[in-house]
Structure formats: C-alpha cells, structure tokens
Amino acid sequence: MPGPDAVGKSGPHHPRRPTMVDVAREAGVALRTVSRVVNGDTTVGEDFAERVRSAVDRLGYQPDERARQLRSGRTGAIGAAVRHIADAHPVLRAIDETARAVGLTVVAMSTEDDEERERDAVMSMCRRRMDGIIIEPIAQDHHYLQPEIDAGLPVVAFDRPAAGLDVDTVLSDNRGGIAQAFAHLTAQGHRRIGYIGDDERIHTGRERATAFRDALSGIGGTLDGMVHPGPVEPARVAAALAALRDRPDPATALVTGNFNTTVAVIRALGADFGGIALVGFDDFGLADLLRPGVTVVAQGDEEIGRTAIELLSARRANRARPTRTVIVSTRLIPRGSGESAP
Amino acid sequence: MPGPDAVGKSGPHHPRRPTMVDVAREAGVALRTVSRVVNGDTTVGEDFAERVRSAVDRLGYQPDERARQLRSGRTGAIGAAVRHIADAHPVLRAIDETARAVGLTVVAMSTEDDEERERDAVMSMCRRRMDGIIIEPIAQDHHYLQPEIDAGLPVVAFDRPAAGLDVDTVLSDNRGGIAQAFAHLTAQGHRRIGYIGDDERIHTGRERATAFRDALSGIGGTLDGMVHPGPVEPARVAAALAALRDRPDPATALVTGNFNTTVAVIRALGADFGGIALVGFDDFGLADLLRPGVTVVAQGDEEIGRTAIELLSARRANRARPTRTVIVSTRLIPRGSGESAP
C-alpha cells in the first residue's frame, strides 16, 4: 500500500499519493473489493469492478509494486501451529530463519497442548490462505486437515507424528537420545539410574520412557519404581524424585525427559543437585550458568526447523511426491552434572 | 469445514459428508469462490454464485456451524508483531491468554528488530484481515500503517511508542524501574554504581540510560565512564564491564538494562559474580536457580499483555475513542545478587 507520506502531484485535494482507501471511498465500495479488483480477481461482479476501475483512473491511483508483489502471494506466508508461542522455541527460530531465506514469512499460533485450540488455530490459518502449514501436533486425530490437504495445502508435522494423516514429518531421535544419556551415566559407573519424564500419552513422552526401560533392562537393572512418566507439575516431579531417593537402593543418577522436568528436578534437588548425577533431555539457554553446569542431550533444533521448511518447499513444488519422515539425531553435551561417579 | 470422517447418508458416491472441496469440484470453480458464496459475499459474479448454489443443492452440502462461525469472524484473530517469536515472551503469553478469554485468537509474526521485516509482517497481517494488530514497534516511522488505521484497523503498541502514529500504547515504567534498582543498591551503601544497557537509539534503551544518569547525578556521582549503553553483544558488554572494574575507583555495583545484557554480564563475571552487586532490569525464568540468585526489576508483563488486549477491545468497540498511553509499574525482586554491601 502506498505510504501516505509520499507527496503526490495531483493538487491540493491529494496532498499525498492516493491509497486504496481513497479508491474505495471514491468508488463507494468496500476496501477489500478494491483490493480484489486491483489484484486481478476475476470473480468480482462486473458493476463493482467497473466502479473500482474508473475510481482508479480518476484518482490516478498506482499500486505500490512492492506491496503488490506481497499481495500477489509471490512472497508467501506459512502458518506454524506450535505448543506455546510465548515460550523459547529454537525450532520455531530455525523455521522462521529458513523460511525467510526462501521468501516465505512465518505466522505462528499457539495450541497450548489443547486439541480444540490446535484445530481452531490450524483452521484459522487455512482460512487465511497460508501457503503451507507446519504443525507440532497435539490432537489424537488430524483427519480435520484432510480436505485441506486434498485441496493442495502442503502440511509438515514436527516433533510428533500427526496422527491420522500421511504427511511429511520431522522427528527427533528420541530413543537414540535417551540411549546416549543412559550410556553416558553407565560409563561413569552408575547402575541405579532413575527416569522422570513426560506423560506417556504424548508421543515423545512414550518414546523416551520406552527407550529408558529398554536401556535399564539392557544392563539387567530392575524397572520397578525407577521409571516415572507423568504430567510435568513440580509437585508430581518432586514426589517421583523422593521415591527414587528414599528407597533401600536409592538412584545415584537421573535422566530427565524434557526441559520443564529438568528445571523442576533441579529446584527440588537444591545446592549441588544433592550429589545426584543428572542428564537432561533437551538443552536450554542458561544450562552452562547453573552450578554444576547441566549435562544435556541436545536435540537438533536447527536441523529440525530447516528440514521442516525443506520438506514444505519440496511439497509445494511437487504435491504428488511420496511423503517422508526424517529423524534428526541428538547430541550429548557434558557440562558437569552428568560426569560424577556414584 | 465438515470432517471427512463423519459418515454421510447420500449413498456410495459420498461415503463422507461433502466438503467445500467437493462443491468446488462439482461447480468447477475455485475453493475460495465456494467459500465466499457460502459465507454470503455478495460481490461474487452471479454466474459463479449460481454454479456454486446448484452444486451445494446437488451434493446436499451443509456448512459446519462451528467452522462457519469461525469464518464469519465472530471468533476473530489479532496479529501480534513482536521482536522475536522464537524467544520466551511473557507479554505475548499474556496477550494470548487474555485474547482467548474474549474470543480472539492471536497470530504472531517476528520482526527480528528489522524495520523492513516489521513492515512486511504488519502489512501481511493487514492483508489477512486481522481484527486488530498489536505491535512491539521497531521502525522509526510507522506512517505506513495510517491508511489501515484510517480504514478502521485497531492498532495497539507495546513496550515502545509507535513513532509517527497516534495509537493506544502500553509501556513499562522504565524510568521508575531504573530508579528502583538504583535506590536498592544505594540502600546497601553502594555509591560507585555502573550501568550497562541497550542502544540508546532504542526507546527503552534511551529511557533507561537517561533514568540511570539522573539517578547517579542525584547522589552527586560522576557520570564519566559509568554509563555504557550500546549493542547487546557479549564482547561489547565484556569491554564495558572491564572499563567499570579497571578504574582507580572501580564500580562496586552494577545495573544491567535488559535480560540479554544481564546474562552476558553474569557470563563475564564468573563465579559469585566476581563479588560485584548486580540488579538486572527484566526478570527471567531461571534467575532464582543461579548462585547467587539474580535480583531484578521485573516488568509487569502480564499487566502489559492484558492491557494491550483491553485497549484493543475498547478500540474495536469505539473507533472514535481518544487514544490512551498506559504506563505499567515495575517491581524489584531481591534474590541475593543485589543485597551485598560494597
């Protein structure tokens, strides 16, 4: 849209360049009707279109080329439906940066771990004619997106599969990451290793708890009372921690299944993390500033975000392409909390 | 849009309820044309509208009431153009939560502190017919939004004023917050207090540095070499810190002007924060877990977010209402780093 600060040449009645608002006023039609005519939408009724065209001529309205290019969709927008838009989200950062590099802008909405909100957010993006949707899926059933996909909407899921849909997907190597954390602790001599993580109804929570059980069984350890999946609430996490420590053979080391659990555990452990060895799944910004520094299994956030955009771009180029699931590997970062012997 | 999993009654050709996609196919028109006709847009050409209506009749298509309500705009969407969508953003959280409570959903875009991106993001939201826009302004000139405001778009600025626009605005009490931090340190006996903060070209950076100079002058302190505004880069922050400590009368206490500066200073200070007293402007999630805990001036993030939505709602209800600027007070939270004597 032309800036009103640009000085026009058409005399005192138009001290600034005429805008679409001026055209709408002159033609006596809605602003969106002007927008549609100016952008070549042929389904506008001929009487309305003619009124707009003659108002454009009378005012000497000239669409701003840059705005026009944006409106025409050559710079596209993709919707990202993520769990919490207000939380730090390194995958979203990578999505945003990679998207810009290929001429797309990212519009984010929050699902707040709520199926209804996810559906609202995603359908709202569909109504706003996004050029594609990237989703961090919550719902147990994503059939609601099938008509949009059938109509050509590119959709990519990340972090979790989109249940009920056959779409391109990027996942972390959850099982491999837990195996890395576990092997790191056994290498220091730990055998009684506990796990506190997310609810197993969540895909990542299930994958990580399962991988932990496999690892513990693999060294002949007892599973009994050592694996604590559940909601990430400080009281539940503190109770799980107490159960792991107040047993005849207390856990000497701990794997936490996600960032919020890691923080809740550190708060409950207090100074020097109570002498227990700790490896957290998922890295976080200030992990190196805590004492001890927090050893983590870092997810490949950048790689996940970049891959999501690559899959989306490939899908836009070829809607008939077979869908693909990409698993991105994790990386253990030792910082102190996971390097002590039992 | 009806779910494809719902079983229809119209025989083997329609094992699921017909969708708008089916109507579009049957009518031989674009999906968006069907959407416009179904939603009562009267500017669609009559021949197209008639084809859609008869396809609707033939297929027995029934719009899903809930989707229809969403499409009709009764559940509106507001755009939030914030500096970094991928960073933790407690004001955005409050905006999101308050918006939902009044039946609005929030769509966020990142401006990345770049004027061009801000304009792209905001104009992209305008094209997507948001019911209002909340902006954390970057640009030095927001005249580009004036035609949209003239056309009735409600706009609210937060954190910084939107230069060149007369819009509802919510700001932190930056000057009051710096005065609180300063008074807290003088109460412990500090007199040689340094400041490291954001670039003064940014509104908040300028307000905070100015307030700090006023406070230091107020106790008869020398300003010479004690106030270090500038870009938030670790090397620049470390150099400013070195300058404050390597002087004949080294600073015994420090006020940092924003979260990123606080973290850069803590990294540079190392163990026990090098014995220097520290108060940071802006609270952060793990401030209580560092040793010492970090004393901060917390901004009223929730209040700012809630107020932004309230101002937007009031503006939607009455476009002619005089604009208002709301200043939200700050609160000092002592946690250890700011309570030591010189």
Does residue B80 sit in helix, strand or coil? strand
Percentage of chain B beyond pLDDT 70 is 90
| Higher-pLDDT residue of B330, A84 | B330
Does residue A59 sit in helix, strand or coil? helix
Q: Number of A to B CB contacts under 8 A, please give it.
A: 169
User: At which residue do the structure tokens 């549609």 appear?
Assistant: A36
How many angstroms separate the CA atoms of B307 and B304, rounded?
5
Class of domain A174-299: alpha beta
CA distance readout (Å), B217 to B22, B189, B250: 73, 16, 17
> How close, in Å, is residue B179 to chain A by CA atoms?
28
Does residue B337 sit in helix, strand or coil? coil
Mean pLDDT of B244-252: 95
Q: Which of A105, A108, A126 lies closest to B120 in CB terms?
A: A105
Structure tokens at A51: 């009124």
Domain ranges of chain B: 20-63, 74-172+301-328, 174-299
Q: How confident is the model at residue B17 (pLDDT cuts 50, 70, 90)?
A: low
Does the distance separating the beta carbons of A46 and B43 come in below 8 Å? no
CB atoms within 10 A of CB A239: 15
| Higher-pLDDT residue of A7, B205 | B205
Structure tokens at B12: 């083997």
Q: Matching CATH topology for A20-63 and A174-299? A: no
Identify the pLDDT of residue B1.
Answer: 34
Which A positions 51-70 lie with beta carbon below 8 A of chain B?
67, 70
Query: Residue A216, exposed/middle/buried by CB under 10 A (0-12, 13-18, 19+)?
Result: buried
Residues of B in contact with A264 (CB under 8 A): none
Structure tokens at B342: 């010189």
Mean pLDDT of B321-340: 96
- Asked if B260 is an interface residue toward chain A (Cβ–Cβ < 8 A), one would say no
Mean pLDDT of B284-293: 94
Identify the pLDDT of residue A178.
Answer: 98
Least confident of A4-8, B33-37, B154-158: A4-8
Instruction: Mutate one of A23, A289, A335 to test the B interface: name it (highest B CB count within 10 A).
Output: A289
- Asked if A75 is an interface residue toward chain B (Cβ–Cβ < 8 A), one would say yes
For B94-134, the DSSP string reads HHHHHHHHTTEEEEEEE-TT-HHHHHHHHHHHHHTT-S-EE
- For residue A171, give the DSSP letter: E
Query: Residue A140, exposed/middle/buried by CB under 10 A (0-12, 13-18, 19+)?
Result: exposed
How many residues are listed for chain B in this entry?
A: 342
How many angstroms separate the CA atoms of B133 and B66, rounded?
24
Is residue B11 predicted with pLDDT exceeding 80?
A: no
Residues of B in contact with A92 (CB under 8 A): 85-86
Identify the pLDDT of residue B329.
Answer: 95
| Cα torsion angle, A305, A310, A315, A317, sign | positive
Class of domain B74-172+301-328: alpha beta
**Which stretches of chain A score pLDDT less than 50?**
1-15, 65-66, 68-74
| Higher-pLDDT residue of B109, A4 | B109
Residues of A in contact with B286 (CB under 8 A): 263, 286, 289-290
Does the distance separating the beta carbons of A46 and B124 come in below 8 Å? no
Q: How confident is the model at residue B230 (pLDDT cuts 50, 70, 90)?
A: very high
Mean pLDDT of B189-196: 97
Identify the pLDDT of residue B219.
Answer: 95
Helices (H), chain A: 20-27, 31-38, 46-59, 65-71, 90-101, 115-127, 146-150, 174-187, 203-218, 234-245, 259-269, 301-317
- Asked if A77 is an interface residue toward chain B (Cβ–Cβ < 8 A), one would say yes
How many angstroms separate the CA atoms of B10 and B17, rounded?
8
- Asked if B1 is an interface residue toward chain A (Cβ–Cβ < 8 A), one would say yes
Q: End-to-end CA distance of chain A, in Å?
A: 66
> How close, in Å, is residue A214 to chain B by CA atoms?
33
Instruction: Report whether B109 contacts A106 (CB < 8 A).
Output: yes
H or E element that contains A195: strand A193-197
Residue among B104, B309, B31 nearest A109 (CA): B104
Q: Which of B29, B100, B107 lies closest to A107 in CB terms?
A: B107
CATH of domain B20-63: 1.10.260.40
Q: How confident is the model at residue B32 (pLDDT cuts 50, 70, 90)?
A: confident
How many angstroms separate the CA atoms of A305 and B338, rounded?
39
Give the strand pairing for B277-281 and B227-229: unpaired
- Asked if B165 is an interface residue toward chain A (Cβ–Cβ < 8 A), one would say no
Helices (H), chain B: 20-27, 31-38, 46-59, 65-71, 90-101, 115-127, 146-150, 174-187, 203-218, 234-245, 259-269, 301-317
H or E element that contains B197: strand B193-197
Least confident of A253-257, B26-30, B59-63: B59-63
CA dihedral A114, B135, B255, A262 (to 10 degrees): 20
Does the distance separating the beta carbons of B146 and A124 come in below 8 Å? no
For A261-296, the DSSP string reads HHHHHHHHH-GGGGG-EEEEES--TTTTTSSSBPEE
Identify the pLDDT of residue B183.
Answer: 98
Identify the pLDDT of residue B62.
Answer: 67
Q: How confident is the model at residue B284 (pLDDT cuts 50, 70, 90)?
A: very high
The phi and psi torsions of B142 (rounded to 5 degrees) equal -110, 20
Structure tokens at A145: 């997106």
Least confident of A1-15, A61-75, B112-126, B249-263: A1-15
Identify the pLDDT of residue B29.
Answer: 86
Is residue B16 predicted with pLDDT exceeding 80?
A: no
